[in-house]
Chain A
Amino acid sequence: MEKNIMVFLEYKKGKLQDVSKELLSKARTLAKKLGSKVLGLAVGYNLKNLPELGEYGADKIIYVSNKELSLYRSLPFAKVVISAILHYKPYIVLFGATHVGRDLAPRVASNLQLGLTADCTELKIGDYRAGKILYKDQLLQIRPAWGGNIIATIVSPESIPSMATVREGVIAIDEITPGKKADVEEFCVEFSKQELLTEIIEQSIEEKDVDLKGAKIVIGAGMGAADDHIMELIFNLAKLLKAEVGGSRPIIDAGYLSPHRQIGQTGVTIRPNLYIAMGISGQIQHLVGIMNSKRIIAINKDPEAPIFEVAHYRIVGDLKDVLPMMIKAYKGILKKS
């Protein structure tokens, strides 16, 4: 049997979401190991540029187009995914751990009585031994558990396909193959009234005021920066460095920054060249969001703060003193050059 990998492609207003591109890229790596193909499942209405998804790693796009699928709704989308799984018999099915993926995947898993692992941060192929039985080529579904204090590897050896939702931003899109085209195959699903129960009356999308994921330099503000004057200095420095400002969960809860700016397990995962942690203690739930940074500077007045375990450059000091120094030092360098 061919061990194909199906990726649910999530569209919003006709735009493919980043997490779907990340999943295609990951699926290509896994499919190479399995000697199999990557099937993208595109569900929507009038979707464009499907063959081009070959560049991210899709071999074939299964395209389900229907007016009823213009906006995401649980029941018709679940029916499409269930029908596609039954028809194409994939070995693995991946979803983004987004609001859509986390609403859809469990409904599908329940219907087909499949295992499902939520919020994976890494996927691998490997073997699993249970007593005398060796299960080969399992999808190893790796996720934080217990508030992030441990990392668990989950398998679902007896239920095929293996299904997982994967966090946005945790997988790097490794290579793009320019010009590679995927085959597109239309797949038809009809709906009954009983599957069209939800009526969407209105949608209100807030434009994101920031893109932390793509930023080259990110300054992270923690509770040590919970002070209007310090925040002002942070934004001044950010402007000079052309950096984006993010923060820890409590500083966002305290209202200093918008929720889009939260970094960590329940926020975004960043991969900048430089991360500057300002007044952040370095709890594990924050660290998992910053560990892909190339360099980390930490500034904290507590020399024992756990953030110093992961920082390349450690500055023990008070932000009130260190921030003005950084601004002055950088201005000085700019003047000279």
Chain B
Amino acid sequence: MSFNMVVLVKQVPDTSNIVEDAMKPDGTVNRDALPAIINPEDLCALEEAIKIKENSGGTITVISMGPPKAEDALRYCLCMGADKAILLSDRKFAASDTLATSYTLAKAIEKLPCFDIIFCGRQAIDGDTAQVGPQVAEKLNINQLTYVFNIAQLTKEYIVVKRDIGDGYEVCKSPLPVLLTISSKANTPRPPSVKRAMAYKNLKAQKGDNGLILLWDHNSIGADPNRCGLKGSKTRVKKVENVVLKTFDKKDIQPTLDCISGLLKELMEDHIIG
């Protein structure tokens, strides 16, 4: 038993580290101003695929759409245990919303000889939309299971998973092929192997069909440029604002029994507490 697996990963700016010049005046993001990391839940998705490969055998192809420097993310995935990587990089892909992104990713997946399971992270920390996974599944016309935190059973015909449903979880079964989105609850991704890290140190993405990191553009995947990037995106950013939350009517209360009693009495008189 062995499985052909695809993992979709995204290089994201580390949003826990926002700096002043991260936003451009037109509302788009100055990605270069922020350190780039691999979206954390995408690593959980890759970890699930690697576990399957270890237990049942198979191959893992990692695909990422992004700027040339996203090759760093793919190299990291190879060091973790992926077999092959594809970088979808093209100016025509720039400023894609989730619809255009899913179109591009689906076109690339269709180029692969076959697949049984597609893994995505539950959501990306820069957008938090959780949309690309289901949209890719729809484009490929396959089933989707989102919010998966455990793969309970896997055979050549079907998969059984546990998935979050908000106020609990469900166990469900689907035939293959299927797309899964994996949440951080599923596992702790392993660190990259030191041996591979040494071996792949100078690995670069290259055009064509040979190499460990393939570099593909819109022609390689036969994508319609009108459905990629900004052109293929249906959403527009009208404006962005920095969030400033402030209350104007403020009182300082000294940390003494009398002052706190006074405050509580005031709140009782106003029927706030009672």
- Residues of A whose CB lies within 8 Å of any CB of B are 12, 72, 74-75, 78, 98-100, 102-107, 109-111, 113-119, 128, 130, 140, 144-159, 197-206, 208, 217, 241, 273-274, 284, 287-288, 291, 294-297, 308-318, 321-322, 325-326, 328-330, 332-333
Q: Do B143 and A197 have beta carbons less than 8 Å apart?
A: yes
A-B pairs, 8 with minimum CB distance = A115-B234, A317-B255, A147-B15, A110-B135, A118-B129, A205-B168, A106-B131, A110-B138
Min CB gap B51→A, angstroms: 21
Q: Do B245 and A287 have beta carbons less than 8 Å apart?
A: yes
- The listed residue with most B CB atoms (<10 A of its CB), out of A102, A117, A205, A208, is A102
Which A residues touch B272, using CB under 8 A? 217, 273-274, 294-295
- The listed residue with most A CB atoms (<10 A of its CB), out of B18, B132, B137, B234, is B234
Segment with Cβ contacts to A, from B39-47, B68-76, B87-95, B263-271: B263-271
Which B residues touch A208, using CB under 8 A? 167
User: Does B3 interact with chain A (Cβ within 8 Å)?
Assistant: no
B136: nearest chain-A partner, CB-CB: A110
Known: A99-B147, A110-B139, A274-B267. A313 touches B251 (CB 8 A): yes
B233: nearest chain-A partner, CB-CB: A115
User: Does B237 interact with chain A (Cβ within 8 Å)?
Assistant: yes
Known: A154-B238, A312-B249. A111 touches B138 (CB 8 A): yes
Known: A152-B27, A297-B263, A322-B260. A99 touches B164 (CB 8 A): yes
Complex CA distance for A143 and B38, rounded to whole angstroms: 23
- Looking at chain B's contact residues, is the secondary structure mostly helix, strand, loop, or mixed? mixed
User: Does B112 interact with chain A (Cβ within 8 Å)?
Assistant: no
- The total of chain B residues at the interface (CB under 8 A) is 75
- Residue among B126, B129, B234, B250 making CB contact with A113, cutoff 8 Å: B234
Q: Do B160 and A201 have beta carbons less than 8 Å apart?
A: yes
User: Does B235 interact with chain A (Cβ within 8 Å)?
Assistant: yes
Q: Do B99 and A333 have beta carbons less than 8 Å apart?
A: no
Mark out the residues of chain B between 134 and 186 whose CB falls within 8 Å of any chain A CB in the assembled complex. 134-135, 137-139, 143-147, 160, 164-175
What mask results when residues 12 to 30 of chain B are scored 1 for a CB within 8 Å of chain A, else 0? 0001101000110001010
Known: A109-B99, A333-B268. A146 touches B167 (CB 8 A): no
Which A residues touch B246, using CB under 8 A? 309-310
User: Does B32 interact with chain A (Cβ within 8 Å)?
Assistant: no
Complex CA distance for A296 and B249, rounded to whole angstroms: 11
Q: How many A-B contacts are there with CB distance less than 8 Å?
A: 231
B259: nearest chain-A partner, CB-CB: A315
Which B residues touch A78, using CB under 8 A? 138
Known: A115-B235, A147-B125, A150-B243. A311 touches B250 (CB 8 A): yes
What are 7 residue pairs bridging A and B, where the CB atoms are less than 8 Å apart in the complex?
Answer: A74-B145, A104-B134, A115-B235, A150-B243, A156-B236, A199-B172, A297-B263
Min CB gap A239→B, angstroms: 13
Q: Do A329 and B261 have beta carbons less than 8 Å apart?
A: yes
Q: Do A203 and B98 have beta carbons less than 8 Å apart?
A: no
Complex CA distance for A208 and B167, rounded to whole angstroms: 7
Q: Do A154 and B138 have beta carbons less than 8 Å apart?
A: no
Q: Do B245 and A291 have beta carbons less than 8 Å apart?
A: yes
- Residue among A103, A203, A309 making CB contact with B245, cutoff 8 Å: A309
Which B residues touch A201, using CB under 8 A? 160, 170-173
Q: Do B146 and A103 have beta carbons less than 8 Å apart?
A: yes
Known: A107-B144, A295-B272, A316-B255. A310 touches B18 (CB 8 A): no
Min CB gap B35→A, angstroms: 14
Q: Do A329 and B257 have beta carbons less than 8 Å apart?
A: yes
Min CB gap A285→B, angstroms: 10
B234: nearest chain-A partner, CB-CB: A115
Known: A107-B138, A128-B238, A205-B168. A197 touches B175 (CB 8 A): yes
Which A residues touch B166, using CB under 8 A? 98-100
Complex CA distance for A198 and B18, rounded to whole angstroms: 40
Which A residues touch B264, using CB under 8 A? 326, 329-330, 333
- The listed residue with most B CB atoms (<10 A of its CB), out of A273, A291, A315, is A315
Complex CA distance for A57 and B255, rounded to whole angstroms: 47
Min CB gap A293→B, angstroms: 10
- Residue among B134, B167, B234 making CB contact with A158, cutoff 8 Å: B234
Q: Do B263 and A333 have beta carbons less than 8 Å apart?
A: no
- Residue among A98, A107, A312, A333 making CB contact with B265, cutoff 8 Å: A333
Q: Do B261 and A200 have beta carbons less than 8 Å apart?
A: no
- Residue among A105, A154, A312 making CB contact with B250, cutoff 8 Å: A312
Which B residues touch A241, using CB under 8 A? 273
B257: nearest chain-A partner, CB-CB: A325
B244: nearest chain-A partner, CB-CB: A309
Q: Do A321 and B255 have beta carbons less than 8 Å apart?
A: yes
